[in-house]
Structure 1
Amino acid sequence: MRITVMDQDPGLAEAICTTLRAAGHLPYLAADAPAVLEQLRHGEMDLLVLDAALHPATVKDLVHAARHSPHAIPVLLLSPRAAENELTSALEAGASDYLIKPVRHGELALRIQVLLRRAYPDQHAGESLRFNAYSFDTASSRIVREGKTIEVTQKEFDLALLLFRHLGRPLSRAYIRETVWPGESELPSRTLDTHVSRVRSKLGLRPENGYRLAPVYSFGYQLEQLSM
């Protein structure tokens, strides 16, 4: 997919483009706001990665232009914690998602994949998603780790993919239930916990393998990727 990147840090922007190329995308490094608008006018963009610390008016205008283009281009914001006010304003203007700097490039690739899948569902039907050693085939609901298929149920597949798609983010129990068990309002709490335990065990989501799947007190669960 065609992804435009605009960030004040040239080194970061180049690194993002490298990550995008490795994921099979076609990145374009925009020097300024007019370059972004030009791409939007010519329909040469599928997603915009934007520095939220740019001038607030610039960020708001670009988000508005992207979201109100004929294809409602998704926008991923990159924000230093100091730019919290600008981030809030951009999200209110319609930005699709955000990442806090410093950017973890594995998480960046994941967030972009989620946004593209949501924005262009017809182009991502039956896709294969890769997260380091793990590969998810959405057509067959199959998980492969280092060449070996992991036997999982459909619900275990859905739960595992949900966790990887939100790597590094805490997910509430309510959100997990609504996503993996839609319409089952009376789902016993132990059912969710049992499935989390099975996913952790079957996929080997433990610190020695570079991951931690842990409960978040009084909230839900979070899958983290650890430095190895």
Structure 2
Amino acid sequence: MLNQLRRESFDMLIIDWQVPDLSGADVLLWAREKLPPVLPVLFMTSRSGEDDIVAGLAAGADDYMIKPIRRGELVARVQALLRRAYPTQNTIEQIQFSQYIFEPRTGRLLANGELIELTQKEFDLALLLFRNLGRPLSRAYILEAVWSRDVEIPSRTMDTHVSRVRTKLKLRPEHGFRLAPVYSYGYRLEQVAS
């Protein structure tokens, strides 16, 4: 984990008190010494004593949760910490491609001003295709980009998602776009004259 923290940047850390090799408190102290001070840290533990809570907060945690963790509360605390740490990023980012407006933070997609209902994977796939407009994308690249933690999915899963994206976004030449297979390689989204 420390090696990963040295190489990459993160928006937030959620640290458990019990981590392999070091204690979560040691990881937290290291993070506070080496990483940007604005980085929010949520500390989790099954220790519920007042001394433990004080020790976690004194080590530099911004918030503290006691196990068992309730999902809704975790999401609310994470969102609150991110709002406080990055107040200027609370505006909704929009990425526009012709009549399609993507909102990556909310997972919303508008086409001609109307909301298109997509699953998260469909949204991720559509955004990936639009960000690579005109470029053929290999099946392996799409799998890694959209299904990164589950690369053992059946190949038909990708084809099904591509088909759904094509249908829901009306990616046909009469609407200015064509989503086509690239034989023995992958897929390409192209902009065409309508």
* Cα deviations by residue, 1:56-82 (Å, 9 ceiling, x for unpaired): xxxxxxxxxxxxxxxxxxxxxxxxxxx
CA distance 1:165–1:125, shift in 2 (3 Å)? farther
Question: What does 1:133-152 align with in structure 2 at a 5 Å threshold?
Answer: 133-152=99-118
Partner of 1:223: 189
User: Contact between 2:173 and 2:193, CA under 8 Å: does it hold in 1?
Assistant: no
State how far apart, in whole Å, the 1-side matches of 2:104 and 2:192 are.
25
Task: Say whether 1:158 aligns with 2:118.
Answer: no
1:171 aligns with one of 137, 143, 146: 137
State how far apart, in whole Å, the 2-side matches of 1:195 and 1:125 are.
29
Give the CA deviation at 1:127.
1.5
State how far apart, in whole Å, the 2-side matches of 1:125 and 1:166 are.
25
Compute the TM-score of the two structures, normalised by the length of structure 2.
0.53
Question: What does 1:14-163 align with in structure 2 at a 5 Å threshold?
Answer: 126-163=92-129
State how far apart, in whole Å, the 2-side matches of 1:184 and 1:140 are.
22
Unaligned 5+ segments in structure 2 are: 1-87
State how far apart, in whole Å, the 2-side matches of 1:204 and 1:168 are.
17
1:211 aligns with one of 165, 177, 185: 177
State how far apart, in whole Å, the 2-side matches of 1:168 and 1:160 are.
13
Q: CA RMSD in A?
A: 1.7
- The residue matched to 1:201 in structure 2 has which SS? helix
State how far apart, in whole Å, the 2-side matches of 1:126 and 1:158 are.
17
User: Contact between 2:95 and 2:101, CA under 8 Å: does it hold in 1?
Assistant: yes
State how far apart, in whole Å, the 2-side matches of 1:174 and 1:180 are.
10
State how far apart, in whole Å, the 2-side matches of 1:180 and 1:125 are.
25
Structure 1 segments (4+ residues) deviating >3 Å: 122-126
Partner of 2:150: 184
* Cα deviations by residue, 1:178-198 (Å, 9 ceiling, x for unpaired): 000002121100000000000
Give the CA deviation at 1:139.
1.3
State how far apart, in whole Å, the 1-side matches of 2:152 and 2:100 are.
32
Percentage of matched positions with identical amino acids: 63
Give the CA deviation at 1:227.
1.6
CA distance 1:208–1:124, shift in 2 (3 Å)? farther
Which amino acid counterpart does residue 152 of structure 1 have in structure 2?
Answer: L
CA distance 1:149–1:127, shift in 2 (3 Å)? same
* Cα deviations by residue, 1:66-113 (Å, 9 ceiling, x for unpaired): xxxxxxxxxxxxxxxxxxxxxxxxxxxxxxxxxxxxxxxxxxxxxxxx
CA distance 1:124–1:194, shift in 2 (3 Å)? farther
Partner of 2:20: none
Give the CA deviation at 1:124.
10
Unaligned 5+ segments in structure 1 are: 1-121
State how far apart, in whole Å, the 1-side matches of 2:128 and 2:186 are.
13
State how far apart, in whole Å, the 2-side matches of 1:126 and 1:159 are.
20
